[in-house]
Structures are given as C-alpha cells and as structure tokens.
Structure 1
Amino acid sequence: MSSTSQLAKRFREVMLDGLWIANTNFKDQLKDISLEQATAKVGSLNTIAMLTFHIDYYIAGLINVFEGGDLEIRDQFSFDLPSIESQEKWEELLHKLWNDSEKFAVLLEQMPDYKMNEVFVDKKYGTYVRNIDGMIEHAYYHLGQITLIKKLIL
C-alpha cells in the first residue's frame, strides 16, 4: 500500500469510520448530537459545533492546496463559526465535514508518494507529510475534546 493510501486510511479512521486509535471517530461521536447539544456551553470550553467547524476549516483549507490553490486559512479565523440557528444548519455543517473529509482522503490517495516529501506551500510549513500527519493528530486532539464535552452534556 502506498504511503498516500496509508495516510488516507488513517485520516478516514479518525474522521469517518475508524475505531483503531480512539475506538471512535468524528462521525460516530457526532451522529446523534442535536443542535442544542452542539451549541451547549460547558464552562470556558469550546462547543461541539465550534470544534466541528474548526476541524472542517483546516480540512477545507488543505483541500484548497491539494487542488492547486493557495493556503488561505489563518489560525485567527479557525473558530469563526457562523451562527447556527436551526437543526438544519447544524446538519449542513456536519454534511460539509463528511464531504470535505472524504474529498480530502480521495485527493490524498491520488497524490504520488514522492509528493509527501515536497515542501508544503512554503518551507516554513515543512513537507506535505508533516502537514497531513499534523491534520490527523489535530483531528484526534479535537475528537478527544468532543468526546469529553459530549459526556459532560449528556
């Protein structure tokens, strides 16, 4: 199996269908979350909706680079969740996350292995593999937060 295929598999595990590392994934944790639960505030913690938006913000930003675009995402905007006033809007955010996650994995699978050691946008960001590994680790970090917040609100 190519390294890009292995990375895509690891990414899908944390986002869509895996159980290996955390015995859960984003899709499993978010499947039964209502708008009220998604937007419930627990102390100073981010809401589940905020973390969902945040992780998709980065996935979508990397997709743009994978498709030949610029790196347009900025950390300062990564929590700028638009107001979610209805269950429908919450479900749209989830649908976007699932679609972006699968698109990310497909684009990654299509990359040649040699691309993994190339500079990602600018030398200061390191290589493609560093950024993809970082995305996977970032996702697991926030998956843990979502899992804990879910336990606190349910």
Structure 2
Amino acid sequence: MSSVLQLAKRFREVLLDGLWIANTNFKDQLSDVTWEQAVTKVGTLNTIAMLTFHIDYYIAGITPVFEGGNLEIKDRYSFDLPPIESQEHWEALLTKLWSDSEKFAVLLEKMPDSKLDEMFVDQKYGTYQRNIDGMIEHAYYHLGQITLIKKLLQKQ
C-alpha cells in the first residue's frame, strides 16, 4: 500500500471509522452526543462542540492546499465556534466534519507519494508528511479529550 493510502486510512480511522489505536473514533464518540451535552462546560475544559469545531477548522483549512490553493486559516480563529443553539446546529457541525474529513481523505489518496516530502506552503510548516501526521496526531489528542469530557458529563 502506498504511503498516501496508508495516511488516508489512518486519518479515516481517527475521524470516521477506525478502532485500532483508541478503540473508537470521532464519529463513534459524537454519534450519541446531544447538542445540550455538546455545549455543556465541564470546569475550565473546552466543550465537545468547541473541540469538534476546532478539529474541523484545521481539516477544512488544510484541504484547499491539497487542491492547489492557499492556506488561509489562522490559529487564533480555530476556537471561534458560532453558537450551537439547537440539535440542528449541532448536527450541521457534525455533517460538516464528516464531509470535510472524507474530502480530506480522498484528496490525500489522490496525492502522489512524492508530494509527502515537499514543503507544505512555507518552510516553517515543514513537509506535507509532517502536516498530515500532525493532523492525525492532533485529532487523536482531541478525541481523547472528547472521550473524557463525555465521561465527566455522564457523572453530572
């Protein structure tokens, strides 16, 4: 299996359908979260909705680069979640995350392996490989947070 196909598989595992590393994934963890739970604060932790938005912000923000476009996102906006005030708002955010994740994975699958060693946008960001690995690791990090927040919410 080519390197990009392996990366796309790893990306899908954490976001959409895998069980290998964490025995869960974003889609599995978020499937039974109501909008009220998604926006409930636990201490000083980010909400589940905020973490969901944050991960999608980066996925959607990097995708244009895969399509030959520019990197337009800014870290300072990565937690600027619009208000979630209904189940419909929450489900729209989830639908966007699933759609953006699948698009990211498909574009990754179409990338030649040789692209992985190329500079990603600017030398300060490193290579495509580094950024794709970083996206997967970043997703696992926040998946763990979401899983723990869900458990804390169940105890309330």
Tell me if both proteins adopt one fold, taking TM over 0.5 as the criterion: yes
Deviations 1:96-125 (A, max 9, x none): 000000000000000000000000000110
Alpha-carbon distance between aligned partners in 1 of 2:100 and 2:88, rounded to the nearest angstrom? 18
Matching residue of 2:131 = 131
Instruction: Report the number of matched residues.
Output: 154
Alpha-carbon distance between aligned partners in 1 of 2:68 and 2:46, rounded to the nearest angstrom? 32
Amino acid at match of 2:79: F
SS in 2 for 1:9: helix
* CA deviation after TM superposition for structure 1 residue 64, in Å: 1.2
* CA deviation after TM superposition for structure 1 residue 47, in Å: 0.1
Unaligned runs of 5+ in 1: none
SS in 2 for 1:145: helix
Matching residue of 1:43 = 43
Structure 1 stretches of 4+ with a deviation exceeding 2 A read: none
Amino acid at match of 1:106: V
Matching residue of 1:79 = 79
Deviations 1:14-73 (A, max 9, x none): 000000000000000000000000001000000000000000000001101111111111
Alpha-carbon distance between aligned partners in 2 of 1:45 and 1:73, rounded to the nearest angstrom? 23
Alpha-carbon distance between aligned partners in 2 of 1:147 and 1:84, rounded to the nearest angstrom? 20
Task: State the TM-score, normalized to the length of structure 1.
Answer: 0.99
CA RMSD of aligned residues (A): 0.4
Matching residue of 1:144 = 144
Matching residue of 2:57 = 57
Matching residue of 1:107 = 107
Amino acid at match of 2:37: Q
Matching residue of 1:21 = 21
Alpha-carbon distance between aligned partners in 1 of 2:113 and 2:64, rounded to the nearest angstrom? 19
Percent of counterpart pairs with the same letter?
A: 80
* CA deviation after TM superposition for structure 1 residue 86, in Å: 0.9
In the alignment, does 2:97 pair up with 1:97? Answer: yes
Alpha-carbon distance between aligned partners in 2 of 1:54 and 1:65, rounded to the nearest angstrom? 18
Task: State the TM-score, normalized to the length of structure 2.
Answer: 0.98
Alpha-carbon distance between aligned partners in 2 of 1:114 and 1:68, rounded to the nearest angstrom? 15
In the alignment, does 2:7 pair up with 1:10? Answer: no
Matching residue of 1:68 = 68
